Amino acid sequence: MDLSPLKDSHLSIGTFSLFDIALAMLDAEAQEWGEEAGMNLLLDESITLVRRETELMAAACGAKTGERARVFVVCRAWSEAAAAATHYQNLARFADVWVFGTPDQEINIPGVVAVPVPKNSPLEKERGVVIEAPSFGAALLAGEGGILDPSDPSSRYYEGFLTARAEAVDAAAGRLAALLKLAPLSRRWTDHELVGSWYNRLNRRILETLESQRLQLRAREDEIGKMRDETTRMEKMVSGYVGGQTWREVQEAVMQNREEIADRDREELTICFCDLVKFTKLSERLTPPEVALILNDHFSRLFNIVRAHGGTIDKFIGDAMLAYFREPIEAFQASKKMVQESRSVSLKTDWNLPIQVRVGLNTGAVALANLGVPEMRQRTVLGEAVNFAQRMQSAAPPHSVLISERTLRLLPHTMIRTLEPIQVEIKGRHDLVTAYLWTTTTDRREEIHDQLSMRASLLKTKQRTSLMDRLRRPEDNE
């Protein structure tokens, strides 16, 4: 392998390059071996490790043989070498050191000469080290390859390799010596014992570093897993206080880098108020823990009903609940279940306390708005439709659903025929208001009416059918 033409380069520091020696060596080895060996991918950490171990080898040569090595360091900036001043001060006891880099700060290390690299010079995008000693030589030649993560400039990587082949070391050291006008060293001989110990130490350090990185990665993964679990628990707890729909809107706002959830105006929703009848008087005979137990048992049932029908609970107000639905049919179905299933609550394992509820429904345009201050906010529905739904609930008899005329128009006929129109007095209205009442009694009365209508229809028909034969009484067949 002949790289001698590269030794006598007379390039200035502004056009100086070492990476072309690595490329030439790669081509020469490809021709020699019949295939290209390829380059290594090097990160800043790996370059620092290999360079440091190679520089220590130059110091070991001087300590053993008394010879003075030459160390040419190619780094990003002078500050990188200044940060390792103790290392280079010890290295300068056995070697002459030159540091090539951007002059971002002064270097004042005895035995170390700082060489400024001009901006846009090819050497500005290279990193490595060249060791030249009579008994040892090595060169780490690396050029900038790209960025692993475009959003993170620190993820820059380099391509290159470390070699102890005399041809590459002589070419790189010869070019640097010519640039700095240094006299050539005496003919090199190889101390195989030192070279062997260098390879062993370097391999061991690389393995130790990889193991350390693996342990750090595992610890980081454990830490991330713990943080993820804590975040999940926190999200679950916070979402319980904030509310499901509001929590989803908060997450969406955070992902879109917004400071708050936007208000929404003129949303057509069906508002549902559900209240416990005469609960205030009942709670006077109970202790606060018993009151909390009753309300939590009751609210858990309401929550499951509202969620099953696609609604959203806006808030709990004392012993009342405010919820809203996008579909009036679902709101009505949910309201009926609230009445049907809230017959009693469990106060103790052997004591069920009977309760009564009343529900008010109204449909209209509302606003979803943020109330409060940045330190404490509440997202809630606002508007006359909300107020009217609350007045419907106040006017409803115990254990019933009272529906406004606006909501009634949006329900199918099969659902409204079970409703009973009544005149109710509504706060803020001078005249009586027509509302529509549902109770379990009206529902049962309609069911019986349907059964009687079907029986009458079957008895009136004169046409015999297999169904008629099955319905006939046994004595009719005699």
Domain boundaries in the chain?
A: 4-190, 263-438
Segment 12-29 shows an average pLDDT of: 86
pLDDT of residue 172: 92
Average pLDDT, stretch 17-34? 82
Q: Is the pLDDT of residue 420 over 50?
A: yes
Q: What is the mean pLDDT of the chain?
A: 82
What pLDDT does 455 receive?
58
Judged by DSSP in three states, 238 sits in: helix
C-alpha distances in Å from residue 292, one per residue of 296, 302, 346, 428, 443: 6, 15, 11, 33, 32
What are the φ and ψ backbone dihedral angles of 376, each rounded to 5 degrees? -155, 110
The label of the residue with tokens 């060489």 reads 115
DSSP secondary structure letter of residue 259: S
Type and span of the H or E element at 214 = helix 192-242
What the block records as the tokens of 79 is: 């500050």
Q: Looking at the predicted structure, is the pLDDT value of residue 162 above 70?
A: yes
Instruction: Tell me the backbone φ, ψ of residue 472, rounded to 5 degrees.
Output: -65, 145
CATH of region 263-438, choose from 3.40.50.720, 3.90.79.10, 3.40.50.300, 3.30.70.1230: 3.30.70.1230
Buried b (16+ CB within 10 A) or exposed e, 86-115: eebeebbebbbbbbbbbeeeebebeebebb
**pLDDT over 80 at 251, yes or no:** no
Q: Decide if pLDDT at 471 tops 60.
A: no
Q: Report the DSSP beta bridge partners of residue 41.
A: 159
Query: Across the chain, how many H-helices and E-strands are there?
Result: 15, 17
The phi, psi pair for 337, rounded to 5°, reads -65, -35
User: Residue type for 44, please?
Assistant: D
Residues 6+ apart with CB under 8 A from 257: none
Euclidean distance between CA atoms 213 and 221, whole angstroms = 12
Tokens standing for residue 356:
């009564």
- DSSP letter for 463, please: S
**What six digits make up the tokens of 370?**
């943020």
CATH number of this structure's domain 4-190: 3.30.870
pTM flag (> 0.85): no
Element (DSSP H or E) covering residue 453? helix 440-460
> Which class for 208: exposed (0-12), middle (13-18), buried (19 or more C-beta within 10 A)?
exposed
Cβ count near 76 (within 10 Å): 19
For tokens 């019986």, the residue is 448
b vs e for 423-443, b when ≥16 Cβ sit within 10 Å of the residue's Cβ?
A: ebebeeeeeebebbbbbeebe
Side chain identity at residue 471, one-letter code: L
Tens-place pLDDT, residues 365-384: 998 887 777 767 777 889 99
- Residue 6: is its pLDDT beyond 60? no
315-352 pLDDT per residue, tens: 898 889 999 999 999 999 999 999 988 766 655 555 56
Mean pLDDT of 88-97: 92
| pLDDT for the residue 9 | 47
- pLDDT number for residue 445: 57
Q: Cα(18)–Cα(457) distance, rounded to whole angstroms?
A: 103
CB 201 within 8 A of CB 53: yes
Q: Report the pLDDT averaged over residues 387-403.
A: 93
Per-residue pLDDT at 417 exceeds 60: yes
In the chain, pLDDT over 70 holds for what percent of residues? 81
Answer yes or no: same fold for 4-190 and 263-438: no
Q: Which residue has the higher pLDDT, 86 or 222?
A: 86
Q: Is the Cβ–Cβ distance between 341 and 305 less than 8 Å?
A: yes
